[in-house]
Homo-oligomer: A and B are copies of this chain.
């Protein structure tokens, strides 16, 4: 029985290296199901309450698909207007009620701390699918899992990694969480490339230093980087006081094939939390990188299903039984 049985997943702060190893080991065993080589019904009859009080198609569907691939059912709620919350119901009450309708809950909410508050009323494990500016731990886990797999492809492990993080590092929830998780490993080098006003917060820099790792700070994409990973982030317009303010930074930390070739080594893996803005004036991660085999952004979202399957299996204590409920897959087509 694992330490995750019946537990909430609220923050990356609750993970140590052993926890991460456990999650990733279980995630590895899920690939046979995401590739449709086999089918498992270990969670037949279990119900995921997929509560997206703030919409997010990608994350919502990824959680739902992960649960379906384990054989479970998904009951979904999207948007706060559909909810009793709009009538003044407390998160505690909502949690008490809705947790009676499911075996595990995945929840996104616009307010920081809301998922933790909800979890106090919940009678089943809750997984934070993003609570506003605060935490999105499954994104951090899938990012780290992607790094592990991409490095493994080059016969490397995470210890000794050099990662460049580019763009808006102040408001980018994902880079904060990923940096914290990387601090659990050994000899990590960080290069932070951001405008001064949007730099990595001091508390993250302190965490890095205290954990014995190194970082460099640059205010533009200049020079040569021997980074193993280039983690690009979106200029999140909604974090700025105005569209004008946001536009000032647009395109300044752009990555396209020519810029990539100029600044990075040929094996540098490109990551991004998605969605990327593909409008003409966005210029955050150009489409001409789509043919670059090091562009790992869609492998990231694929990995999200594996990581979420692992978390569900661990929270419900079936991580060692998944295989017992395996069966053959009769359909012929799958491209994954």
Contact of A330 among B75, B325, B336 (CB under 8 A): B325
B332 and A84 form a contact (CB under 8 A) = no
Which A residues, 265 to 319, have Cβ-Cβ distances below 8 Å to chain B?
274-279, 282, 287, 290, 298, 301-302, 305, 315-318
Interface residue tally on A, bucketed by range: 35 or more
- Bound together, the chains give a CA A94 to CA B275 distance in angstroms of 8
- Bound together, the chains give a CA A83 to CA B39 distance in angstroms of 29
1/0 per residue, CB under 8 A from B, across A59-90: the answer is 01110110011010111111101111001111
B87 and A275 form a contact (CB under 8 A) = yes
Stretch at the interface among A45-53, A169-177, A189-197, A240-248: A45-53
A93 and B57 form a contact (CB under 8 A) = no
A84-B274, A332-B317 are known contacts. Are A45 and B69 too (CB-CB below 8 A)? yes
A278 and B331 form a contact (CB under 8 A) = no
Q: What residues on B are CB-neighbors of A36 within 8 Å? A: 45-46, 103
A58-B97, A78-B82 are known contacts. Are A331 and B305 too (CB-CB below 8 A)? no
A305 and B82 form a contact (CB under 8 A) = no
A43-B331, A55-B81, A333-B317 are known contacts. Are A96 and B61 too (CB-CB below 8 A)? no
Contact of A101 among B65, B276, B315 (CB under 8 A): B65
Q: What residues on B are CB-neighbors of A22 within 8 Å? A: none
Q: What residues on B are CB-neighbors of A101 within 8 Å? A: 61-62, 64-65, 305
| Closest B residue to A96 using CB positions | B298
- Bound together, the chains give a CA A315 to CA B331 distance in angstroms of 9
B98 and A57 form a contact (CB under 8 A) = yes
A55-B81, A97-B58, A305-B101 are known contacts. Are A287 and B318 too (CB-CB below 8 A)? no
A98 and B334 form a contact (CB under 8 A) = no
A183 to chain B, nearest CB (A): 29
A77 and B103 form a contact (CB under 8 A) = no
- Bound together, the chains give a CA A316 to CA B329 distance in angstroms of 11
| A263 CB–B CB distance under 8 Å | no
| A258 CB–B CB distance under 8 Å | no
Q: What residues on B are CB-neighbors of A330 within 8 Å? A: 42, 318, 321, 324-325
| A100 CB–B CB distance under 8 Å | yes
| Closest B residue to A40 using CB positions | B45
B331 and A103 form a contact (CB under 8 A) = yes
Q: What residues on B are CB-neighbors of A302 within 8 Å? A: 100
| A167 CB–B CB distance under 8 Å | no
Contact of A331 among B62, B290, B316 (CB under 8 A): B316
A82 to chain B, nearest CB (A): 4
- Bound together, the chains give a CA A287 to CA B120 distance in angstroms of 14
Contact of A287 among B90, B329, B336 (CB under 8 A): B90
B84 and A275 form a contact (CB under 8 A) = yes
Residue of A83, A92, A329, A331 contacting most chain B CB atoms (<10 Å): A331
Contact of A93 among B39, B46, B90, B275 (CB under 8 A): B275
A332 and B318 form a contact (CB under 8 A) = yes
- Subset of 26 A-B contacts with CB under 8 Å: A5-B332, A36-B45, A36-B46, A40-B45, A41-B45, A45-B71, A49-B61, A56-B84, A57-B77, A61-B98, A61-B101, A65-B101, A73-B74, A84-B274, A92-B278, A93-B278, A97-B298, A97-B301, A99-B335, A100-B302, A101-B305, A123-B335, A316-B333, A317-B332, A321-B330, A324-B330
